[in-house]
Amino acid sequence: MSAAQYLETPQGRRLAYHATPGVGPTVVFLGGLKSDMEGTKAVHLEAWCQAHGRAFLRFDYSGHGESSGTFEEGCIGDWAEDTAAALATLTTGKLIVVGSSMGGWQSLLFARAHPDRVAGLVTVAAAPDFTEDGYWASFTEDQKATLARDGQIAMPSDYMEPYIITQRLIEGGRSNLVLRDPLPLPFPVRCLQGTADTAVSTDTALRLMDHADCIDMRLTLVKDADHRFSDGPCLGLIEAAITDILEALQ
């Protein structure tokens, strides 16, 4: 596999990426919280796009994977800046943005800011507003006091080592919420969600469906699929969602 290339962002962060040339619309993969561009879904979609001659981009947010910084330094707004810089510099024309978990939130932020660039969205266990509606809403008064005193707390995860949740992550998320204000999505949107996902509930997927203003938005619930959504059948569903958007565009 080729070595990563690097992009210096206007904010001074150094982002690692892999870009595949090909026909448009370019498929862009946005990973989840503490995930990186070497994950199963990102690498699989790269190979799939290469096989079909389609342009593709995967990259690491700052504080993730091979990019500069540490996770604890970052927040939703920083990663939205990273996404905007990567897509502005490394892609041209229309995009099909595939966002997984926190990347689903990032895809919605990018689409809200740059609707002219987006040909379609595919979300996989999208987690919009999770810092507010997941973390903050579930914190006890003691946890909130610890966060205020120490600036961070450790949160257990079903999928990896505990997350260090910082006050900046909570406050940065609060500045980038997408489920409180109008969310026009003037392009095809395909949402995928596993029913056995313990990190993002089906209620979140339904809330996004109800909230978004989109005339071509579909939600597929997959029985017993978990948050990883990375086995063979699930990867096939992501491929099918991208193909469905391409057919809708024609």
Per DSSP, the three-state class of 124 is strand
Compute φ and ψ for 219, nearest 5 degrees: -115, 125
Q: What is the mean pLDDT of residues 224-236?
A: 91
Give the per-residue pLDDT at 73: 92
Give the per-residue pLDDT at 158: 66
Task: Say yes or no to pLDDT of 132 above 80.
Answer: yes
Q: What is the mean pLDDT of residues 79-86?
A: 97
More confident residue, 107 or 34: 107
Task: Say yes or no to pLDDT of 157 above 90.
Answer: no
> How big is the chain by its Cα radius of gyration, in Å?
17
Give the per-residue pLDDT at 1: 60
Token pair belonging to 54 = 């389609």
Q: What is the mean pLDDT of residues 25-46?
A: 95
Express each pLDDT in 55-73 by its tens digit.
999 999 999 999 999 999 9
Identify the structural domains of the chain with CATH numbers, from first to last. 5-130+181-245 (3.40.50.1820)
pLDDT confidence band for 108 (50 / 70 / 90): very high
Give the per-residue pLDDT at 154: 86
CA distance 153 to 205: 27
Q: Which residue has the tokens 């002219």?
A: 116
Provide the mean pLDDT of the chain.
94
pTM of the model: 0.94
Give the per-residue pLDDT at 141: 94
Give the per-residue pLDDT at 156: 75
CA distance 81 to 13: 10
Token pair belonging to 105 = 């939130």
Residue 184 forms beta bridges with which residues?
A: 213
Q: What is the mean pLDDT of residues 99-118?
A: 97
Express each pLDDT in 160-211 by its tens digit.
677 789 999 999 999 999 999 999 999 999 999 999 998 899 999 999 999 9
How far are the Cα atoms of 26, 71, 123, 130, 206 from residue 237, in angstroms, in the given order?
Answer: 18, 30, 11, 24, 19
Compute φ and ψ for 131, nearest 5 degrees: -65, -35
CA distance 16 to 37: 9
